[in-house]
Amino acid sequence: MALKNTKITFFDLASVYPDRRSLSLWCWTTRLVLNFKGLGYTTQFVEFPDIEPTLKPLGIPPTATKADGSPLFTVPAIIDATDPTKPPVCVSDSQEILLYLEKMYPDPLRPLIPSTTQNTGTYVPAPALYMLVKQFVLSNFMPYILPLVIEDMVPIIPPRAFEFATKAIVAAKGEGHDFLTAHFVGKEGSPEKEAYWKKLEAGFGIMALILESGEKIRADSSVSGGAGEFFMGHQVTFADFSLLAPMIMIRFASERGWERVSKWHGGRWERYWKALEEYIVVA
């Protein structure tokens, strides 16, 4: 898949799958960008307890501060050693990585951050669209996804990562809790869990409405080549990856969960997945 001869190391969160494919929403947005741009990269999978010990000595910047005031290290992160005449560039935080890659390796015919200035010829990056999708995902998807897939997800989390997460939960909530119980809302089929499915379906419903309206408007205007199924018509942008990433999280954590989502809204999300599947690749 790599078309460009770049030398990038991508730090991603490991699962127990044979290919170690990530369950991390944010790591997936970065991988989708790397794959979309056809950049050469190798993945270094790390488990949750190893993030700080791995990233800190490499000089990768922290992305936040912990409650105790010490720096917080997170994945995704990248080291770009493409230019042999310069020191490697370390970037963390999925948004910073997107901006770095878009600037260093632009693809003028298919920018991931849209611009409206098609008539002036100047490229003006406007991140509002993808930031709104990200905000929507944070508010209307994320509170429901983890509780919905947690039972199926636990066996896919490496045992050390599960224990590490549990330690933090015990510290916050007391003995008797673990990473499963902290997010558990009910067994599959229980009214509690069904209510969560309904909320998630409502969130996806709003996204379906927005995508469908775009298709209708484009079909009405005399655009050649059909309506286009992405936020910006036929053009894939980072807004699509922001919506696709939670779907990847659901599907890779819970195949039966994805079975349900994929049937919603006339099978729109199964089609959406297929249209973007070429980028959902673990290199």
Contacts with its own copies by CB under 8 A lie at 99, 103, 108-109, 111, 113-129, 131-133, 135-136, 139, 206, 209-211, 213-214, 217-218, 220-221, 223-224, 228, 231-235, 237, 239
Closer residue to its own copies (CB): 85 or 120: 120
Of 156 and 227, which CB lies nearer to its own copies in the complex structure? 227
- Work out the number of other CB atoms within 10 angstroms of the CB of residue 213: 10
Q: How many CB atoms lie within 10 A of CB 260?
A: 15
Q: At what angle do helices 25-36 and 238-253 cross, to 10 degrees?
A: 130
Nearest CB to its own copies, comparing residues 42 and 115:
115
Query: What's the min distance (Å) between Cβ of 82 and its own copies?
Result: 20
Identify whether the C-beta of residue 45 lies closer than 8 Å to the C-beta of residue 160: no
What is the smallest separation between the CB atom of 244 and its own copies, expressed in angstroms?
14
Q: Using CA atoms, how far apart are residues 139 and 133, in angstroms rounded to an integer?
A: 10
The answer to whether 23 touches 153, Cβ cutoff 8 Å, is yes
Residue 235 host element (H or E):
none
CB of 139 to its own copies, least distance (A): 8
Structure token pair of residue 137: 């995902």
- What minimum distance in Å lies between the beta carbon of 106 and its own copies? 10
Cβ count within 10 A of residue 56: 13
Residue closer to its own copies (CB basis): 242 or 262: 242
The CB-of-166 to its own copies minimum distance in angstroms stands at 31
Backbone phi, then psi, for 13, in 5-degree steps?
-90, 125
CA atoms within 13 A on the CB side of 281: 16
Minimal distance, residue 131 CB to its own copies, in Å: 5
Q: Which two tokens stand for residue 185?
A: 């809302």
| CB-nearer residue toward its own copies: 41 or 204 | 204
Cβ distance to its own copies smaller for residue 136 or 264: 136
